[in-house]
Amino acid sequence: MISEIVEQRIKAAESAPPIQLEGIARDFFDGKVLRRVLKKLDLEIFAGELTIIAGPSGSGKTTLLTIMGFLLQPSEGRIFIQGREVTRFSSNRLATLRMQKIGFVFQQSVLVPALTVIDNILLPSAIQGQSVPRAVKARARELLEMLGLRDYVDAMPQQLSLGQQQRVSIVRALINDPPLLLCDEPTSALDAESSAIVLDTLKRLSLEPTRAVVLVTHDPRVFPFADRLVKIEDGAVIYDSRQGRQGVPTS
From the CB of 123, what's the least distance to another protein, in Å?
A: 6
Q: Is 128 in the site for another protein (CB under 8 A)?
A: yes
- Helix (H, G, I), strand (E, B), or coil: what is residue 114? coil
Binding another protein by CB under 8 A: which of 51, 59, 66, 165? Answer: 66
Residues 134-163 that bind another protein (CB under 8 A): none
- With 0-12 / 13-18 / 19 or more C-beta atoms within 10 angstroms meaning exposed / middle / buried, residue 52 is buried
User: Which amino acid type is present at position 29?
Assistant: F
Q: Are 45 and 17 in contact (CB under 8 A)?
A: yes
Q: Is 251 in the site for another protein (CB under 8 A)?
A: no
Which of 58, 67, 72, 53 is CA-nearest to residue 22? 67
Q: Is 107 in the site for another protein (CB under 8 A)?
A: yes
How far is 174 from 20, CA to CA, in rounded Å? 21
Q: Is 72 in the site for another protein (CB under 8 A)?
A: yes
If binding means CB under 8 A, how many residues of this protein chain bind another protein?
34
Q: Is 168 in the site for another protein (CB under 8 A)?
A: no
The 10 Å Cβ neighbour count of residue 120 is 24
Q: Is 92 in the site for another protein (CB under 8 A)?
A: yes
Q: Is 189 in the site for another protein (CB under 8 A)?
A: no
From the CB of 42, what's the least distance to another protein, in Å?
A: 22
From the CB of 14, what's the least distance to another protein, in Å?
A: 21
From the CB of 75, what's the least distance to another protein, in Å?
A: 14
How far is 140 from 58, CA to CA, in rounded Å? 36
From the CB of 12, what's the least distance to another protein, in Å?
A: 25
What is the distance between the terminal CA atoms of the chain, rounded to a whole angstrom? 41
Q: Is 69 in the site for another protein (CB under 8 A)?
A: yes
From the CB of 45, what's the least distance to another protein, in Å?
A: 18
User: Which amino acid type is present at position 138?
Assistant: A
How far is 65 from 216, CA to CA, in rounded Å? 7
Query: 34-45 and 212-217 as β-strands: parallel, antiparallel, unpaired?
Result: unpaired
Contact residues for another protein, defined by CB under 8 A: 62, 65-66, 69, 71-72, 91-92, 95-96, 98-100, 104, 106-107, 110-115, 119, 122-124, 126-130, 132, 172, 184
